Structure 1
């Protein structure tokens, strides 16, 4: 348990009740008996002991969130992975004269809100496949905007890439004022089909 709440009102805080007010007025000025004085003197200690025992039995602790702590948390910028989205656009035709085992895709990177996000690194998980991007990393994207990115891949070892890429993803390192995060973006079944087809074509005449 991370805490209990809301925090109880401080000592002496009561809700307004006319019946309580009348009872208080009728007893005001009367001398308090010795047992009542003893109870008043030790009430706080008893309550503290009981509260501590209850919390220890439940394995929790009591804390109060200060107003300025809550304001600071609400004003902190979001983590970059919370506001960045990468979606798959489709395959691209590579220029003539490009290495025969090269293919390209286009993706769209968008930033929903918060401070600008810098993409510092972009790669993919397969050992036998190299990746470059245009624009090259690092590049910065402002909030409320989207940037088209051309992903060019080249097969370097057909024996280490899958024949069918079941659930491929892009590994991206993102940075903003809040944090630096490594995040994996799954681009969906259409990207998986296009990547699998590109790998099959690239390695169809491979002699390895």
Structure 2
């Protein structure tokens, strides 16, 4: 005789005694209304969760997908000395005599492109001469425009100015959105001749 006992009916089944005395399991009872409702709700919840996960994955894929090549970075604006030009226009009326040591001339400052340029300083290299400008510094010049500047010089000490100005220049400090620069502008041979002439007139008594 083995140690295995009679087969017990499983959950949801009931045993039936056959005519020969053996027991057989009856089919499981169909689930009730509450069980069917629970199963239906569970399937709906699982379907909703699966749909939400699918949509979330699609949204993440869309968010991380690049829309196209990024535009190239905007180049920096040019340095002010690259876009500013200063040209000599000529002497103004009322030039110096041996008694009057002041003289004036005009230059044209133009800005080709880029942001506006501010002229913060105008000077010249000779220790015996002072300089003033109209308009006074600082002044601003818009791109694509030119500004006429009247520069007045006064000889304060003839012993510190040259008898013959070979390559005279203006020292200019310029500033725009990119940088501030000190730059020297040679105004050409006509300016050199005119400057040498007015210096000789202003200092004629000293040059002899």
TM-score range, shorter chain: 0.5 to 0.7
Match of 1:152 in 2: 152
| 1:200 CA drift (Å) | 0.2
Q: In the aligned structure 1, how far is the partner of 2:116 from the partner of 2:141? A: 6
Local SS of the residue matching 2:165: coil
Aligned length, in residue pairs: 138
Alignment deviations for residues 123-147 of structure 1 (CA, whole Å, 9 cap, x no partner): 0000000000000000000000000
Aligned equivalent of 2:108: 108
Under a length normalisation based on structure 1, what TM-score does the superposition of the two structures give?
0.62
Instruction: Flag the 1:111–1:207 CA change in 2: closer, same or farther, 3 A.
Output: closer
Residues 161 and 95 of structure 1: CA distance in aligned 2, closer, same or farther (over 3 Å)? closer
Distance 1:188 1:95 in 2: 20
Q: Say which one has the larger Rg.
A: 2
Q: Which residue of structure 2 lines up, in the alignment, with residue 168 of structure 1?
A: 168
CA deviation string 1:27-72 (max 9, x = no partner):
xxxxxxxxxxxxxxxxxxxxxxxxxxxxxxxxxxxxxxxx98x944
Alignment correspondent of 1:43: none
Q: Which runs of 5+ in 1 are unaligned?
A: 1-66
Q: CA deviation at 1:204?
A: 0.6
3-state SS of the aligned residue for 1:184? strand
Given that 2:95 and 2:198 are in contact with CA atoms closer than 8 Å, whether structure 1 keeps it comes out as: no
* Regions of 4+ moved over 6 Å: none
CA distance in 1, matches of 2:72, 2:78: 14
Counterpart secondary structure, 2:152: strand
SS of the residue corresponding to residue 205 of structure 1 reads: helix
TM-score (norm 2): 0.62
| Aligned equivalent of 2:182 | 182
Cross-structure match for 2:78: 78
**Structure 2 unaligned residues grouped into runs of 5+:** 1-68
What secondary structure is seen at the aligned counterpart in 1 of 2:205? coil
Q: 1:173 to 1:71 in 2, by over 3 A?
A: farther
Distance in 2 between residues matched to 1:169 and 1:131, nearest whole Å: 13
Give the Cα–Cα distance (whole angstroms) in 2 for the partners of residues 90 and 207 of structure 1.
24
